[in-house]
Amino acid sequence: MAANIRPGTLRTLLCALLLTALASSISAQFRLFGPKSPKPMPQMRKASAYISRQEPLMVNHSLLKQATPDNVHVIVSLAKQRAYLMIGEGIVADSPISSGKAGHSTPSGNFSLLEKDPDHRSSIYGDFVDGSGRVVRAGISAKIDSAPSGTHYVGAPMRWFMRLTGEGVGMHVGILPGYPASHGCIRMPSDGAKLFYDTVRLGTPVKVGDY
């Protein structure tokens, strides 16, 4: 014999069943169409990743054995950002460079080496330093900037300097970002500058252009 169910109790049971079914449906739809798991943030690239990678110094060691200050000459390609130590048409060494940036372009032409200085410092670009050696203002131009009180000028280091012009343009050790970035000089890696420096002499021909 069926049990007697009060109308109120029946309505409560029906509501509970409907709510359960509705919750299950919503849960299923949420899983299908709801928001997906957030995508991972793209990894930030280091600034160095945007710097062009240049081929390192390359040396023909058999030709290097034949190189003397009297038989070598230098060709600097502004277009390729490379410097070549040559014997005739043979390449003794092929070095990456960074030439003058816009507004400070490296002069093109035929030059003869005017000076060699292993520990040269710039007479124009450098820092203002106080008596204790602390840099007060960095990256200044001695032609434009005035020294703060109690400071003096210290030129930027230009190791293995090889002067090409009377205005101070030369080849020396410097930062190579992969594009023309200097104030007119021809920057080289330390090993390249040292090799060129040790092989050339005053008067060595240097040809600079868009080769």
Residue 27 in domain: no
Rounded Cα gap, residues 191 and 61, in angstroms: 14
Rounded Cα gap, residues 39 and 42, in angstroms: 9
Mean pLDDT of 23-51: 58
pLDDT value for 142:
84
Averaged pLDDT of the chain: 87
Residue 4 in domain: no
Domain count, the chain: 1
- pLDDT at residue 35 greater than cutoff 70: no
Structure tokens at 118: 């292993």
Residue 25 in domain: no
Q: Which residues contact 151 (CB under 8 A, 6 or more apart)?
A: 128, 129, 130, 136, 137
∠ at Cα 62 (57, 64), nearest 5°?
A: 55
Are 163 and 111 in contact by the 8 Å Cβ rule? The answer is no
| Domain interval for residue 196 | 67-209
- pLDDT at residue 162 greater than cutoff 90: yes
CATH code for position 184: 2.40.440.10
- Read off the pLDDT band of 1 (50, 70, 90): very low
Residue 52 in domain: no
> Higher-confidence residue: 171 or 52?
171
- Percent of the chain exceeding pLDDT 70 equals 75
- Read off the pLDDT band of 140 (50, 70, 90): confident
Residue 11 in domain: no
Residue 22 in domain: no
Structure tokens at 52: 């062009």
Rounded Cα gap, residues 79 and 82, in angstroms: 8
Residue 53 in domain: no
Residue 56 in domain: no
> Higher-confidence residue: 144 or 61?
61
